[in-house]
Amino acid sequence: MAKNQDIIKSIDLISDLRYQITNQIEGKSLLACIQCGVCSSGCTVSQYIDLQPHRVVACLLLGLKDKVLNSNAIWYCSLCHRCTERCPKSVDFSFILALVRNMAVKEGYIPPEYEVSINAVLQHGFTVPYSGDMKKTIDRNRAKFGLPEIIPPKLDELIFIVKETGLEKTLEDAKKKKKEVKI
Amino acid sequence: MDYAFFLGCTIPLRYPQLEAATRAVCNILGIGLKEIHGASCCPEPVAIQSLGIETWLTLGARNLALAEKMNLDVLTVCSGCFETLKTVHVMLGKDKKYFDMVNKILNKIGYEYKGTSKVYNIAEILSEDDIIQKIKNAVSLPLEGIRLASHSGCHLIRPSKILEFDNPERPELMDKILSALGTEVIQYSETVTCCGYCARLNEEIGDDLCEIKFTDLEKNKVEALITVCPACTSQYDLHERKINRDREEKMEIPVIHLPEIMALAFGINPKSENMDIMKRAIRPRKLLEKLKIEI
C-alpha cells in the first residue's frame, strides 16, 4: 500500500509538461520513449543520481515537474551521450536534459558555477577571464610561444544576444525566485 | 587546405603550449590555419547550453557566421567547441523555425548565419588518408617501443548521428593517427570511459571515473595517455596527481595532447617556442628518457 504522502493527485500533474519539451528544438523525440531502460543501464553517472534517465523521461511524460526539477539527475549528467547513442527509439535524452535544465533555470534553480560562466562570457567573451592583469599574463605566455594576438569579440554583440534570446530576463527573474539547487 | 581556426577559450588562454604544438604540426602537414577575428566562447556545452538553448544556438551561430564570411570550413582543437559548433550547425540545418529565430537576432548586429561552413575537429582532418601519408613522411623520431593508449573522449564521437566521426562505441581513428607515428597502440577495456569533467558539480564522479581509468592504464603498463580535448587532458593530468598523493609508488603516465605527441615524433624540440611538454602536473620524464630526448 502506498503511503498517503506518496499518492499524487491528478490535479497536481502538469498535463502540458511534455509539450514544454516537444515544442522546442530537438525535443520531439521525447514522445518515442518505450521505457526500455537502455539509457539508464549505460548511464555513466547512474550510481550517483536519485532519478534514473528513463524515470526522468517517464516523469516528463506524466507531468511530474517538481519530481524532475528536484532531482540531482539533471545536474550530475556527465554529457557522455551514451543514452542518446544507444536509444533504440532515437530519444535524444542528453539534449532533452539540457532543455530540462533550461526549465529549471526559469524556475530559479541555477548552479552558481553556471552563473560564473555566463558572467565571464559577457565580461571577457570567453569562459576564462581575459582582461586587466589576467590578460597581461596570458598575452605574455602566448608571446613566449610566438602565438598571434587574440582579437576578442565585441562584448556589446554578446550582451545583445543574451538580451534578445531572453536569457538576461530569465536570469534576473531567477535571482528573485532563487531556489537552492540539489547538488 | 585552409581552415578557419576556432581556438575556443581553454587552449589559447590556459594552455597556449597546446596551441603552439597544434600550429607547428599543421604547418608541417600543410594544413592552413586562418585566424577568426572576434570569435567568442563556442559557447561551452555545459553551463551556457544549460542556461538557455536559444542563447547557446545564437552565440554558436555568430561564431560560425564569422567563418562563413571567410568562406572557410571551421577547424576546432577542443572537443567541447567541436560538439557545440557541429551540433548548432546540424540542428539549425534541420529546424527552420530556430534558423529564422537565430538570424532575426543576428541580422540586427550585422551577421547572417547561412550554414555554409562545415565544422571539423582536428583529429578528423589528421585521420584522413592523404594526411596520414604526410604524417608518416614527416616522422623523424618514430615512437618505437613506447606503450601509448588513446582517449577519444565523449564529445568527439557521441552522439554519432550529429558528430558523424568514428565508431561511437569502439573508436579507431585516433589509433590510426598514432600508428602512423610508428608506435604501438595499446587496447584497453576502459577506452570509452568518460573523464567526468562535465559532471563537475559532483566532484566524486570525476574522482571515481579517473581512478577506474588509471587502474586500467596501469594494469596495461601504458606509458602515456593521448587525448584530443583540453578538458580531458587537464582532468586526467590533475587527477593522476591527486591519486598519487595517497600512494607510495607513484604513477607516471603523462597525459599528452595529440598534436604534442605528433610534434615529438616530427622531431620538434619538446621545450621550445613550438611546445612545452613539461608544462603539466605529471611530467613525461621517463618517456623522454626512453626516446633519448634531452631537454
A110 — contact with chain B (CB < 8 Å)? yes
Provide, rounded to the nearest whole percent, the portion of chain B with pLDDT above 90: 99
Residue where a domain terminates, one of A43, A76, A106: A106
The CATH number assigned to the domain holding A47 equals 1.10.1060.10
Cβ <8 Å between A145 and B16: yes
Residue after which a domain boundary falls, among A75, A106, A137: A106
Is B246 or A4 the better-scoring residue by pLDDT? Answer: B246
A78 lies in some domain: yes
Share of chain A above pLDDT 90, in %: 89
Same domain, A98 and A16: yes
pLDDT in tens, A41-98: 999 999 999 999 999 999 999 999 999 999 999 999 999 999 999 999 999 999 999 9
- The reply to whether A40 and A116 lie within a common domain is no
Residue A1 has pLDDT above 70, yes or no: no
* Residue A2: inside a domain: no
Q: How confident is the model at residue B249 (pLDDT cuts 50, 70, 90)?
A: very high
Residues 86-105 of A with CB under 8 A from B: 90, 92, 94, 98-99, 101-102, 105
| Most A-contacting residue of B15, B18, B41 (CB-CB within 10 A), to test interface | B41
The conformation of residue A150, written as its DSSP 8-state character, comes to P
Kindly state whether residue A53 falls inside one of the protein's structural domains: yes
> What is the C-alpha to C-alpha distance for residues B243 and A69, in angstroms, rounded to an integer?
34
Which structural domain range is residue A131 located in?
112-177
A114 in contact with chain B, both atoms CB, cutoff 8 A: yes
Contact of B228 with B152, CB cutoff 8 Å: yes
pLDDT band at B89 (very low <50, low <70, confident <90, very high): very high
Same domain membership, residue A73 and residue A93: yes
Q: Answer yes or no: do A16 and A97 share one domain.
A: yes
CA distances from B128 to A170, B26, B121, B122 (A): 44, 13, 12, 10
Q: What angle do CA A173, A175, A176 make, to 5 degrees?
A: 70
B2-122 CATH pick, 3.40.50.150, 2.40.110.10, 1.20.1050.140, 3.40.190.10: 1.20.1050.140
A6 in a structural domain: no
Model confidence band, residue B272 (pLDDT cutoffs 50, 70, 90): very high
The CATH number, out of the four listed (3.40.720.10, 3.40.1410.10, 3.40.50.11810, 3.40.190.10), of the domain defined by the range B141-290 = 3.40.50.11810
Same domain? For A139 and A92 the reply is no
**Same domain, yes or no: A164 and A147:** yes
Mean pLDDT of chain B: 97
Domain membership flag for residue A74: yes
The sign of the dihedral angle between the CA atoms of A37, B46, B165, B61 is: positive
Residue A1: inside a domain, yes or no? no
For residues A124 and A81, state if they share a domain: no
Residues A15 and A42 in one domain: yes
Q: CA-CA distance, B36 to B65, in Å (whole number)?
A: 10
Domain layout of chain B by residue ranges: 2-122, 141-290
- For residue range B101-120, list pLDDT tens digits in order: 999 999 999 999 999 999 99
| Nearest C-alpha neighbor of B120 from the set B72, B152, B69 | B72
Specify the number of domains making up chain A: 2
- Under the banding of pLDDT at 50, 70 and 90, the label for residue B173 is very high
Binary contact (B9, A110; C-beta < 8 A): no
Domains B2-122 and B141-290 share a fold: no
Domain presence at residue A182: no
Interface contact flag, B169 A85, Cβ < 8 Å: yes
A21 and A98 co-located in one domain: yes
Evaluate whether residue A80 is within a structural domain.
yes
Q: Average pLDDT of chain A? A: 95
Single pTM value for the model: 0.97
- For residue B154, what pLDDT band results from cuts at 50, 70 and 90? very high
**Chain-chain contact of B199 with A165 (C-beta, under 8 angstroms):** no
Judged against a pLDDT cut of 90, whether residue B257 lies above it is answered with yes
What pLDDT sits at residue A2? 60
Q: Are residues A143 and A70 in the same domain?
A: no
Of A106, A132, A167, which marks where a domain is finished?
A106
**Phi-psi region at B46: left, alpha or beta (left = phi > 0; alpha = psi -120 to 50):** alpha
Nearest to B51 among A26, A79, A105 (CB): A105
DSSP B128: S
